[in-house]
Chain A
């Protein structure tokens, strides 16, 4: 399947192993074989990647992706989602269970995995539902889901409103050691809301979603975590209050991790402009002080991972009245550029940016990869840090086009993606193998 590859003279940034400098990286039999300061001889038959002037990075891992299959294949499929992932430098994605046939059983998990095997591009790790049908009423069979291959459980898209049920979910998941990933939204506080509560919502006459809708649930779940043990992962953190609570919980040693999306860190609620549904998400884009707090949290380790919440939707879902517009944007192919904006803006160091895209997510979910020590998966992303380009959504591999970033200038671009030692993306082309 995969041969031998030598990445020559690239700048290797591997935060987990404390590496940042020019190295040769040899990948053999799908795994990293050697990382060397001194130039390595080219093994016979090896493919050589001249990486001078480029970054050679651990493949990116996205903890939060909607692949829409089964059920909404018009928006995305496992295959098209994987193409978008590798084009964005991701070598692994966690697939959310809120498909149309919810992934609340081993059967659906197996279907997603078989589609992923057929696509044969990046690693796909399904997440199973916390509750049957995402209804928030009864626990789904966590054991069956984990046996079938789920790496986390989540009702993403919806909160678990019952505190009692959430408490049991955390307790029960300790049997299997998987993280419980939570979408934090008190539906009684967010009801009817279309965007963040603040001056922009007031100006536009849109019902606001207060920050407390998220913060109150974060507080509740941290209290439950402390009582039950287990692992809590907070999805798409969006506001200052949540950041403060998570920081404090980590200081006290609670087993909590968190992710933030590039869009919540790059845009604030003013991006809604004149009712641009491409700026409509759950949680909503927040105030500038929340954005500031998120940036600090990414830098100081309070937030563990950048995750895209890649949410493909059709034109008809967005070309409607703002209140009717469906939440979410695609993110796989803009993630690196937006993350590097934070680097160019002095918010993150290069090393921290790479960590947030690789080791941070791997560690949060206990996934393979995320680093380049010998023995690690041969998942490698090669980036040209100086290439300037313009986001042109019509060139994206995702089946959907819903992004507010079309036309945005970016500096830094994924040029190659390797999964298990196999080239899956290069020269702007996804390399299918079948």
Chain B
């Protein structure tokens, strides 16, 4: 039994073992295995999510587990119940794992200190989104075999992105070079000391990338004027057809979704031959099955 609170701290061999394990669960493998038969996985979502929640739900069902779905809307949190009380109450119903999404960075760490079952971080604030990074890495491995020596360019709102942080740890651990690119107001300080390269000049780094991961511009947080306009962002940092032409032959385009179409990514690029965006989604279920197995074994 172990937690997956973030990718930070996981060793390369552990990540590789998990990604290898995920292959068993690809379409074509068994529809349902019985690893978690008779067990329950609790989905604790304090923040909206379609993709991740559905994906974990499918993954748990695919392992034969029952799923307890809990969301903060319409729950006792609106009556002032604390996070810990909610988590302890859910734990008391006996799940083997709590899959948790929360708007505060570190919320799963707090819960993990006070419950006995496995805690799987399904996205915490602007901190980490480990299952997303694992499915991204899985998708790249599927295409490339190995990430060793590859350059992955992550473009956009790094400041607010939990995907960016998890991918940094994950891709670095697997041997890739990670370059962050975005407007200076959306690049948090100290990224270099975490092992990333940082630039605001997309056109200069674009030709070096073996994969470009565009991040969603978190418009809901843009009330604080991080950017003069989305139009200007799109002009400076959007992956459009002209930029796509300057990418390496065979370089891939990724996006964790949901896409602001036409803003981070031109529709022709999002749906074009380089895009592996839908593969990311379908690989998500296999990877999350492996996560549930590893964390509850």
Contacts and interface: CB of A to CB of B under 8 A. Distances in A.
B65 interface: no
Contacts, number: 72
22 contacts: A198-B190, A202-B188, A202-B189, A202-B194, A203-B190, A204-B127, A205-B125, A205-B126, A205-B165, A206-B105, A206-B127, A274-B109, A275-B105, A275-B110, A316-B82, A319-B82, A321-B104, A321-B106, A322-B104, A322-B105, A323-B106, A324-B104
Q: How large is the interface on A (under 10, 10 to 19, 20 to 34, 35 or more residues)?
A: 20 to 34
Interface residues of B, number: 25
B115 interface: no
Interface string A108-134: 000000000000000000000000000
A366 interface: no
Contacts of B104: 321-324
A187 to B, nearest CB: 13
Contact of A204 (B82, B105, B193): B105
A352 B194 CA distance: 38
B105 A203 contact: no
Interface string B81-106: 01110000000000000000010111
B126 A319 contact: no
A199 B193 contact: yes
Contacts of B124: 205
Interface in A187-213: 192, 197-208
A157 B104 CA distance: 23
B83 A323 contact: no
A49 to B, nearest CB: 46
A198, A205, A274, most chain B CB atoms within 10 A: A205
A204, A207, A320, most chain B CB atoms within 10 A: A204
Given A204-B127, A205-B165, A274-B109, A321 B190 contact: no
Contacts of B109: 274-275
A208 B162 CA distance: 15
B8 A203 contact: yes
Given A206-B126, A319-B84, 13 more contacts: A201-B188, A202-B190, A203-B194, A204-B105, A205-B105, A205-B106, A205-B128, A206-B105, A206-B127, A208-B189, A275-B110, A321-B106, A323-B125
B191 interface: yes
A340 B230 CA distance: 55
Interface in B53-96: 82-84
A274 B165 CA distance: 15
B104 to A, nearest CB: 4
A192, A206, A275, A324, most chain B CB atoms within 10 A: A275
A326 to B, nearest CB: 13
Given A198-B190, A274-B106, A321 B165 contact: no
B217 interface: no
B211 interface: no
Contact of B165 (A197, A200, A203, A319): A203
Interface string A315-345: 0100111111000000000000000000000
A316 B125 CA distance: 21
A275 B191 CA distance: 19
B72 to A, nearest CB: 13
B195 to A, nearest CB: 10
A207 B191 CA distance: 14
A179 to B, nearest CB: 34
A208 B105 CA distance: 12
Given A199-B190, A205-B127, A316-B82, A321 B107 contact: yes
A321 B110 contact: yes
Contacts of A207: 126
A28 B209 CA distance: 81
A419 to B, nearest CB: 41
Interface in B190-236: 190-191, 193-194, 224
Contacts of B194: 199, 202-203
Contacts of B126: 205-207
B116 to A, nearest CB: 17
Given A316-B82, A320-B83, A204 B106 contact: yes
Contacts of A198: 189-190
Contacts of B193: 199
A204 B169 CA distance: 12
B161 to A, nearest CB: 9
Nearest to B107: A321
Contacts of B125: 205-206, 323
What 5 pairs across the A-B complex have the smallest Cβ distances?
A: A199-B190, A205-B127, A275-B106, A321-B104, A205-B126
Contacts of B82: 316, 319-320
Contacts of A274: 106, 109
A200 B194 CA distance: 9
Contacts of B188: 197, 201-202, 208
A329 B199 CA distance: 39
Interface string B122-152: 0011111000000000000000000000000
Contacts of A324: 104
B186 to A, nearest CB: 12
A275 B102 CA distance: 14
Contacts of A199: 189-191, 193-194
B119 to A, nearest CB: 13
Given A205-B125, A205-B127, A319 B110 contact: yes
Contacts of A316: 82
